Amino acid sequence: MAISAIQVENLEFPAVVTSPATAKAYFLGGAGERGLMIEGKFIKFTGIGVYLEDKALESLADKWKGKNSQELQETLDFYRDIISGPFEKLIRGSKIRPLTGVEYSRKVMENCVAHMKSVGTYGDGEAAAITKFAEAFKKVDFPPGSSVFYRQSPDGILGLSFSQDGTIPEKEAAVIENKAVSEAVLETMIGQHAVSPDLKRSLAARLPVALNEGILVPN
């Protein structure tokens, strides 16, 4: 199948990206908006895109090939297999409305810590990793269109990078070596208490076709 780009408000998420930090190509699994209800009105703050290594399809196919979008959307294990699968993920979070790094990271950290505590994976190592996460965002501001990139490797490394647009920086601003924290970031986006149901729907809509037909990703 031909993987297509996705438009979220004024943000475009290309079909395929190559990270200069890793020299790897990733295809767009799905993208969607994140917002909050404020005084009865849904306010959109960010667009989130989840990119996957091409070997993700082989990993997911054994269990999920042949399932339709509705089945996947209703199955938490499908999203958990994306979160913890043995393949690299690259997540782009781009801003629709301006936010400071402290404002943005505070909510991400609150959600991550709440999840880790709920599943019993929060300890001293995770607390130290969260502190390092907070430090990385202290001097960052996010005007509309700017982005944070999370590189999640299967061995538990979380690479952070920041851009004033949608381009991937050549160097990562911080590297956090903690598997529980790394997985918690994506868990809060597409897991049980997802901040972006729109992103979950997008993944469930696009991946069945990719699993059934395969895709071509340039090296």
pLDDT digits (tens, 9 = 90+) for 84-102: 999 999 999 999 999 999 9
Task: Tell me if residue 34 is catalytic.
Answer: yes
Which residue spans within the chain are E strands per DSSP?
Answer: 6-8, 11-13, 16-18, 25-38, 41-52, 89-95, 99-100, 141-142, 147-152, 157-163, 174-177
Reply yes or no on whether 167 is catalytic.
no
Residue of 34, 89, 92, 206 marked catalytic: 34
Residues 6+ apart with CB under 8 A from 19: 26, 90, 149, 151, 168
Instruction: Compute the mean pLDDT over every residue in the chain, rounded to the nearest whole number.
Output: 92
**Stretch 206-216: mean pLDDT, rounded?**
83
Range name among 36-40, 52-56, 94-98 with the lowest pLDDT average = 36-40
Model confidence band, residue 70 (pLDDT cutoffs 50, 70, 90): very high
**Tens digits of per-residue pLDDT, 118-129?**
999 999 999 999
d(CA 181, CA 218): 30
Q: Quick one: pLDDT at residue 37?
A: 77
Catalytic residue, candidates 46, 122, 188, 206: 46
Residue 150 among the catalytic residues = no
CB atoms within 10 A of CB 12: 14
Q: Structure tokens of 214?
A: 């395969």
- Across residues 49-69, what is the average pLDDT? 94
Catalytic residue of the set 67, 92, 95, 179? 95
pLDDT at 39: 82
Average pLDDT over residues 12-19: 94
Query: Active site includes 104?
Result: yes
Q: Are 187 and 214 spatial neighbours (Cβ–Cβ below 8 Å)? A: no
pLDDT at 216: 53
For helices 179-190 and 124-137, the axis angle rounded to 10 degrees is: 70
pLDDT of residue 215: 65
Question: Which residue among the candidates 26, 104, 122, 150 is catalytic per the annotation?
Answer: 104
